[in-house]
Amino acid sequence: MIHITLPDGSVRSYEADVTPMDVAKSISEGFARNVISAKFNGTTIETVTPLTTDGSLVLYTWNDSEGKTAFWHSSAHVLAQAIEELYPGVKLTIGPAIENGFYYDVDFGNISISEKDFKAIEDKMLEIARGKHEFKMRSATKAEALQLYKGNPYKTELIENLEDGTITFCDHATFTDLCRGGHIPNTGIIKAAKVLSVAGAYWRGNENNPQLTRVYGISFPKQKELTEYLELLEEAKKRDHRKLGKELELFTFSQKVGQGLPLWLPKGAALRERLENFLKAAQKKAGYEMVVTPHIGQKELYVTSGHYAKYGADSFQPISTPKDGEEFLLKPMNCPHHCEIYNNSQWSYKDLPKRYAEFGTVYRYEQSGELHGLTRVRGFTQDDAHLFCTPDQLDAEFKNVIDLVLYVFGSLGFENFTAQVSLRDPENPDKYIGSLENWEKAENAIMSATIDKGLNYTVKTGEAAFYGPKLDFMVKDALGRQWQLGTIQVDYNLPERFNLTYKGSDNELHRPVMIHRAPFGSMERFIAILLEHTAGNFPLWLMPTQAIILSISEKYEKYAEKVLNLLENDEIRALVDHRNETIGKKIREAEMQKHPYMIIIGEQEEKENKITVRQHGGEDLGMISIEDFSKIIKTEISKTLKSF
């Protein structure tokens, strides 16, 4: 007998060679019908894999992220089979599951596929799926694997890097693929499939290698779910921050300036400034001091911090000066500069904590194929802060930063989020700097603060920064997509590398603890996500223009200017549309520009010294006094923007 521990802590006994599916059936036949993947002792296995030892078993359904991974990984095999049958002679490479769906990279040779070919591929996939073919894993020798793929240089390269005895294949129907495993029981579970797009992709991401065609797809266990997903995609296209950013005149890009380097237009710059001022006001109340650091630093600064060793080879290369041997780097991080600011003075324990904040622009060389609007750029501004405190102050300081992050989220309408505690990977110590003792202290501090604050959290091993563990905030937007926004990190290592000290009550020198913190993360990425979350309908306090004044004709321009002055005196951001256009056209264009309120002025309004107010989206508030309109604006803002 073997003993299987389930996620609820219960232990069940079975005969050796029991399969995960057998275990599922022993729990409930109904549950077993929904099980599509399994993990045993932390390793993903098939639902039909015999279990021969004691261990922990987790069973996954479509509702689990691991279940979706297995579903989409299996679907990638079906996509590959469909392509191979429709286009004989193509060379398959790799096809993983991704966050939403899967892809397969294919060398099509001289064949070019486009959107017109998608339906044929989808139909073939569903034809294969209806066969209810089981996914079966088998081992193969290196010689057998090389023989099978003797005409495919891509698979051959993969096999050459594998050890004999570790090579496995997955078979279903008449199709075979090199694979480590992790599949659904059979193809019949796939009820709906869609080819989403094709794109170019270099083999193994290296631009010196051949270019392949990457075919993206997605699949579901129900047609209804695919329909809902495609509707979501259409809504996402409408909300695409690149589209909205252009329509709302917030930012642009220029090939002459360079890829991944956004240019902020006046409206976008004003939006950024309001966000910065919002956070600066909260930081001031929380005891932060603003600092400013240069955009470059000597290479040695980043060698000391460890950033050069970790990122130097893949980032912007050193800048040589006329002085022999002198090299500078574009700033990849603000933290080394803040360490040197701390080092400018001698501190006592009575002076701590020191909280330095900066909206600091940093530069990282992202591959051109990975650049995407504002979410992936080469130059971006972080709302960075670094807190230097005693070990005794760490818990309170960390919790205060959590409060600040939650205040930011609440003021901007991000209400659906979870916290992710990102820890080091104990199996891969070379990824990190610093002693095990310091890492354990930092990880324990984050876990303690997270639990005490009552956050809904998950733990992710291997996701820590190279210098310390972190607490990341995973936010769901209006479309249900998850984004990482806001991060807090505990760092015992940089204080050691920069020899940071303070004099303790014992009159001896001690090492401070460092907290890295960025509620927005980066201004660029945050604004992109906020644009898509709100569809450009920002919270009223943040809108570039809170009200636009539309006069029915030129006769009422003077009264329009009077209304504008009164609103501006009440600190309401407004403007007048002076154009000689029909009121209907002005209203339509104001709607497109997403102005929250439209103030319509004509003969009756001027006569009664009032305004007619129309809200974005079509609701008519009728004719009211300017004072009452100001109260409406201030009441709405106060509901969202509470004091910190």
The verdict on whether residue 339 carries a ligand-binding annotation is: no
Please identify which of the residues 355, 470, 595, 614 carries the catalytic annotation: 470
CB 602 within 8 A of CB 551: yes
Mean pLDDT of 230-258: 94
Q: pLDDT tens digit string along 180-196?
A: 999 999 999 999 999 99
Is 384 among the residues known to form the active site?
yes
The verdict on whether residue 335 carries a ligand-binding annotation is: yes
Q: pLDDT tens digit string along 549-594?
A: 999 988 899 999 999 999 999 999 999 998 888 999 999 999 988 9
pLDDT over 90 percentage in the chain? 84
Query: Residue 169 belongs to what H/E stretch?
Result: strand 168-172
On the question of pLDDT at 482 being above 90, the answer is no
pLDDT over 70 percentage in the chain? 100
Mean pLDDT of 160-176: 94
Distances (CA, A) of 604 to 90, 524, 599: 73, 45, 13
DSSP three-state, residue 12 = strand
Q: pLDDT tens digit string along 528-547?
A: 999 999 999 999 999 989 99
Is 386 among the residues known to form the active site?
yes
> 50-54: long-range contacts (C-beta < 8 A, 24 or more apart)?
50/16, 50/17, 50/18, 50/19, 51/2, 51/4, 51/14, 51/16, 51/17, 51/18, 51/19, 51/20, 51/23, 52/2, 52/16, 52/17, 53/2, 54/2, 54/3, 54/4, 54/5
Is 350 among the residues known to form the active site?
no
Q: pLDDT tens digit string along 422-471?
A: 999 888 888 887 888 888 888 988 999 999 999 999 998 888 888 888 99
Is 73 among the residues known to form the active site?
no
Please identify which of the residues 105, 383, 384, 577 carries the catalytic annotation: 384
Is this model's pTM higher than 0.95 or not? no
Tokens of 534: 């709100």
On the question of pLDDT at 300 being above 90, the answer is yes
Q: pLDDT tens digit string along 68-109?
A: 999 999 999 999 999 999 999 999 999 999 989 999 999 999
Is 364 among the residues known to form the active site?
yes
CB 4 within 8 A of CB 14: yes
Is 147 among the residues known to form the active site?
no
Is 382 among the residues known to form the active site?
yes
Please identify which of the residues 283, 382, 420, 489 carries the catalytic annotation: 382
Mean pLDDT of 301-325: 88
Q: pLDDT tens digit string along 382-400?
A: 999 999 999 999 999 999 9
The verdict on whether residue 386 carries a ligand-binding annotation is: yes
Confidence of residue 122 (pLDDT cuts 50, 70, 90): very high
DSSP three-state, residue 97 = strand
Q: pLDDT tens digit string along 129-164?
A: 999 999 999 999 999 999 999 999 999 999 999 999
Please identify which of the residues 516, 517, 594, 610 carries the catalytic annotation: 516
Please identify which of the residues 364, 525, 594, 595 carries the catalytic annotation: 364
